Amino acid sequence: MPHGPGLSFRFTHAITRLPSDSVANGLRALDAGDPIGAKFREEHALYVSALQEAGLTVDVLPPLEQYPDSCFVEDPAFCLPEGAILLRPGAETRAGEAVHIRPALAARFDKVIELPEGGHVDGGDVLMLDDTILIGLSARTDQKGARAFRDILSELGYSAEICETPEGVLHFKTACSTLGDSVVLATGVMAGSGFFGDRKVVIVPDGEEYAANVIRINDVVLVPEAYPKTRAAIEAAGFSTIALPTHEARKVDGGLSCLSLRFALSDE
């Protein structure tokens, strides 16, 4: 079902993975303290419940202690109704995660495609809109990987654009999210990039840039708690919201979108 209304937010399923205790050793740009596995799992349980209450069937995979960042399942894969694509995360410590998530993808999809070797793509750099897919270049996603990924998407019938992620932004979706219905949430820097064309852009208020990473699931938008101005801006744009704690995830540069792979299966 290449491009169409609701592609970016109408979902039936999600895949998540429990945070491990080794998440304390996860990657991060700034040191805000180590996340605590037990507390992270408490927050993760609330996250899974919110996905289920929004109407999704959620597969919860066991923790992988050998991969501290493996609870961020969005980075090693990308899902579309036609199949799943195994990506190649750009951080060396995450190189083996795709192998471990493949069985969960194969259990849900008849088609699992692998990104060719050589290039790298992190799922956190891929923004799916209803009419196109944006691929942001970053420290984790390079030109070779982005072009190969774009070629795969084209073969599946999807159009994609490669964008230069603004300097200082870890992942493309660190600074923006789709709200669906031709509306995007973005930081001021990302909003000024020109990537979003004539779509309506809801600007994240200064000081709440972390809250640019939200996810719309069917009829609700999940937002990180403690960012009231951003939540109010999303609601003013006509969307219903639910706030969730992301305190432990934030310590290792994680946000709401990072914690799940979301997709629609037409036969369910």
Condensed to tens digits (0 to 9), the pLDDT of residues 186-224 reads 999 999 999 999 999 999 999 999 999 999 999 999 999
Q: What is the pLDDT of residue 267?
A: 56
| Span between the terminal Cα atoms of the chain, in Å | 15
What is the distance between the alpha carbons of residues 47 and 52, in angstroms, rounded to a whole number?
Answer: 9
Q: Is 136 helix (H, G, I), strand (E, B) or coil?
A: strand
The chain-wide mean pLDDT, for the chain, equals 96
Q: What is the pLDDT of residue 32?
A: 87
Which is the catalytic residue, given 44, 71, 171, 176?
171
The answer to whether residue 120 is catalytic is: no
The answer to whether residue 258 is catalytic is: yes
Q: What is the pLDDT of residue 1?
A: 57
The position carrying tokens 């060396």 is: 92
Q: What is the pLDDT of residue 268?
A: 46
pLDDT digits (tens, 9 = 90+) for 69-84: 999 999 999 999 999 9
Q: Is 170 helix (H, G, I), strand (E, B) or coil?
A: coil
The most distant pair of C-alpha atoms in the chain lies apart, rounded to whole Å, by 45
* Strand pairing category for 200-203 and 215-217: unpaired
Per-residue pLDDT, averaged over 24-37, amounts to 93
Q: Is 89 helix (H, G, I), strand (E, B) or coil?
A: coil
Which is the catalytic residue, given 71, 79, 176, 258?
258
Q: Is the pLDDT of residue 266 over 80?
A: no
User: Which domains does the chain possess?
Assistant: 13-166+246-263 (3.75.10.10)
Per-residue pLDDT, averaged over 152-156, amounts to 97
